[in-house]
Structure 1
Amino acid sequence: MIQTQNVSTRRILTFPAVHPCEDIRPYTILNSLISLARHICSYRSKFFASNKRNASESFRQIGVILTFLEEIREWDSDLPGSVVLGFSELHVVFQKVRFLLEDCTRESARVWMLMNSDHVTNQFRFFSRAIATALDVLPIALIDVPVDVKDHVDLVMRQARKTRFDVEFNDKQVMEVVRAVLSGFERGFVPDKGGLRWVLDYLGIQNWSSCNKEAMFLDSEIELESSNDEKKELGMLSSLLGFVCYCRCVLFDVVEGEPNRQSTGNCRSEVLNGINSDDLRCPISLDIMVDPVTIASGHTYDRSSITKWFRAGNSTCPKTGEKLKNKEIVPNSALRGLIQLYCSQKGISFVDSCHRNRHVKKAVFAGSVASEKAMKMVADFLSVTLAVGTGIEQNKAAYEARILSKTSVCNRSCLVEAGVIPPLLNLLLSADSLSQENATAALLNLSKHSKGRATIVHEGGLEVLIGVLKKGVNSEARQYAAGTLFYLASVEEYRILIGNITETVPALTELIKNGTGRGKKNALVAIYGLLAHPGNHRSVVAAGTVPLLANLLKSSDTEDDLVTDSLAILATLAEKPDGTTAILRHGGLDSIMEILNSISSRTGKEYCVSLLLVLCRNGGRDVVALLSNSPSLMGSLYSLLSEGTSRAAKKAGALIRVLHEFYERRSSGMMAPLLSQERSVHVW
Structure 2
Amino acid sequence: MGREEQLHITVPSLFRCPISLDVMKSPVSLCTGVTYDRSSIQRWLESGHQTCPATNQPLPSTDFVPNLTLHRLIHLWVQSSSARLPGSLAPPPAARSSPSEIRALIEQIVSETARDSCCGALKKVAEFASYREENRRFLAGSDGFVEAIVQVMTRGGGSESEIEVLELAVTVLESILMENGVKERLTRRLLRSDRENCLSPIVSVLRSGRLASKIAAVRILDSIAVDNESKRSIAEMEDVLAESIRLLAAETDESLRDAVLSFLINLTVARSMKNQLVQLGLVPILASFISNQDSTGPTVERSLRLTQMVSTVAEGRQAMSEDAELTSSLVGRLMKLSKAGTEDAVAVLWSMCCVYGDSRAKERVSRSNGMTKVLLVMQSEEDAGVRRMCRDLVKVLRSGGNTVESGLVSYETRTTHIRHC
TM-score under structure 1 normalisation? 0.42
Write the letter of the residue equivalent to 1:396.
K
Question: Of 379, 386, 391, which residue of structure 2 is paired with 1:657?
Answer: 391
Letter in 2 for 1:419: E
Look up the match of 1:593: 331
Q: How far is the alpha carbon of 1:661 from its aligned partner?
A: 3.0
Q: 1:464 to 1:615 in 2, by over 3 A?
A: same
1:358 maps to 2:64: yes
The amino acid of 2:255's aligned partner reads R
* 1:540 corresponding residue in structure 2: 277
Matched to 1:477, the amino acid is S
Q: Match of 1:273?
A: none
Structure 2 counterpart of 1:494: 230
**2:128 counterpart residue number:** 400
The one-letter code of the counterpart of 2:315 is D
* Alignment equivalent of 2:52, drawn from 285, 289, 295: 289
Q: Does 1:631 align with 2:369?
A: yes
Please give the per-residue CA displacement for 1:639-681, whole angstroms capped at 9, x wherever unaligned.
5753x6x5xx434412331134346656xxxx584135569xx
Which residue identity does 1:659 align to in structure 2? L
Find out whether 1:575 has 2:305 as its counterpart: no
Note if contact 2:146-2:173 (Cα within 8 Å) is conserved in structure 1. no
Structure-2 residue corresponding to 1:674: 404
In the TM superposition, residue 575 of structure 1 has moved relative to its aligned partner by 0.1
Q: Larger % of helix: which?
A: 1
Q: Using the alignment, how far apart are the partners of 1:416 and 1:662 within structure 2?
A: 61
Aligned to 2:267: 530
**What's 2:245 paired with?**
509
1:564 Cα offset (Å): 1.3
Asked if 1 retains the 8 angstrom alpha-carbon contact of 2:268 and 2:274, the reply is yes
CA pair 443-457 structure 1, distance change in 2 beyond 3 A? farther
SS of match in other structure, 2:191: helix
Question: Aligned partner of 1:501: which letter?
Answer: M
Provide Cα deviations, 1:295-327, integer angstroms capped at 9, x if missing partner: xxxx7747x74xx8xxxxxxxxxxxxxxxxxxx
For residues 132 and 152 of structure 2, the distance between their equivalents in structure 1, rounded to whole angstroms, comes to 14
Give the letter aligned to residue 611 of structure 1.
Answer: V
Higher mean alpha-carbon deviation, 652-661 vs 374-383, is at 374-383
| Alpha-carbon distance in structure 1 between the residues aligned to 2:131 and 2:372 | 49
Task: Give 1:314-393 correspondences, 5 Å limit.
Answer: 356-359=62-65, 380-387=103-110, 388=112, 390-393=118-121
| Residues 168-207 of structure 1: per-residue CA shift (max 9 Å, x gap) | xxxxxxxxxxxxxxxxxxxxxxxxxxxxxxxxxxxxxxxx
Instruction: Look at both structures and tell me which one has the larger radius of gyration over its CA atoms.
Output: 1
Q: Distance in 2 between matches of 1:522 and 1:406?
A: 26
Which deviations, in whole Å up to 9, do the C-alpha atoms of 1:394-431 show, x marking residues without a partner? 21213434566799778635476663333452589674
Q: Is the 8 A contact 2:346 2:390 kept in 1?
A: no
Within 2, Cα distance between the matches of 1:407 and 1:636? 53
Would you say the 8 A contact 1:567–1:604 is kept in 2? yes
| One-letter code aligned to 1:674 | V
Q: CA deviation at 1:442?
A: 2.3
For 2:312, what is the secondary structure of its paired residue? Answer: coil
Structure 1 runs not aligned, ≥5 long: 1-105, 110-212, 228-276, 293-298, 309-355, 363-373, 680-684
**What is the identity, as a one-letter code, of the residue corresponding to 2:140?**
R
- Cα distance, 1:300–1:471 mapped onto 2, change above 3 Å: closer
- Which amino acid in the other structure matches residue 591 of structure 1? S
- TM-score, length of structure 2 as denominator length: 0.65
Aligned to 1:611: 348
Gap change, CA 1:286 and 1:541, over 3 Å in 2: closer
1:584 maps to which residue? 321
CA distance in 2, matches of 1:650, 1:375: 59
> What code does the residue aligned with 2:229 have?
E
Residues 83-232 of structure 1 mapped to structure 2, 5 A cutoff: 216=25, 219-220=26-27, 223=28
Give yes or no for contact 2:286–2:303 (8 Å, CA) kept in 1: yes
Is the 1:499–1:530 contact (alpha carbons within 8 Å) kept by the matching residues of 2?
yes
Indicate which of 295, 298, 302 corresponds to 1:561. Answer: 298
Q: Contact 1:421 / 1:456 at 8 angstroms: preserved in 2?
A: no
Contact (CA 8 Å) 1:634, 1:656: kept in 2 or not?
no
Output one character per residue of 1:500-520: Cα deviation in whole Å (capped at 9) or x when no partner: 122222211110011222221
CA distance in 2, matches of 1:407, 1:674: 60
Which whole-Å CA distance do the structure 2 matches of 1:444 and 1:633 have between them? 46
Paired with 1:402 and 1:540, the residues of 2 have a C-alpha distance of 35
Q: Is the 8 A contact 2:396 2:404 kept in 1?
A: yes
One-letter identity of the residue aligned with 2:271: P
For the pair 1:456 / 2:190, whether they are aligned, the reply is yes
> What fraction of aligned residue pairs are identical, expressed as a percent?
15
Q: 1:406 & 1:545 partners in 2: Cα distance?
A: 41
Distance 1:442 1:493 in 2: 26
Q: How many residues align?
A: 331
Partners of 2:284 and 2:341 in 1: how far apart?
19
User: Relative to structure 1, is the Cα distance of residues 288 and 677 closer, same or farther in structure 2, using a 3 angstrom cutoff?
Assistant: closer
Q: Once the 2 structures are TM-superposed, how far is the Cα of residue 628 of structure 1 from its aligned partner?
A: 4.4
Task: State whether residues 552 and 558 of structure 1, in contact with CA within 8 Å, keep that contact through their aligned partners in structure 2.
Answer: yes
Contact 2:187 2:224 in 1 (8 A): yes
Mapped partners of 2:255, 2:239: distance in 1 = 21
Alignment-mate amino acid for residue 657 of structure 1? R
Two-structure CA RMSD over aligned residues (Å): 4.2
Are 2:235 and 1:482 equivalent residues in the alignment? Answer: no
CA distance in 1, matches of 2:402, 2:165: 64
Residue number in structure 2 paired with 1:441: 171
Equivalent-residue separation in structure 2 for 1:533 and 1:557 (angstroms): 31
CA-CA distance at 1:617 after TM superposition: 3.4
What's the offset of the Cα at 1:543? 0.5
Task: Provide closer, same or farther for how the CA distance between residues 530 and 539 of structure 1 changes in structure 2, counting only shifts above 3 A.
Answer: same
Contact kept in structure 2, 1:468 and 1:478, CA below 8 Å:
yes
AA aligned opposite 1:655: M
What is the aligned partner in structure 1 of residue 94 from structure 2? none
What whole-Å deviation, never above 9, does each CA across 1:47-78 have from its counterpart, x for those lacking one?
xxxxxxxxxxxxxxxxxxxxxxxxxxxxxxxx
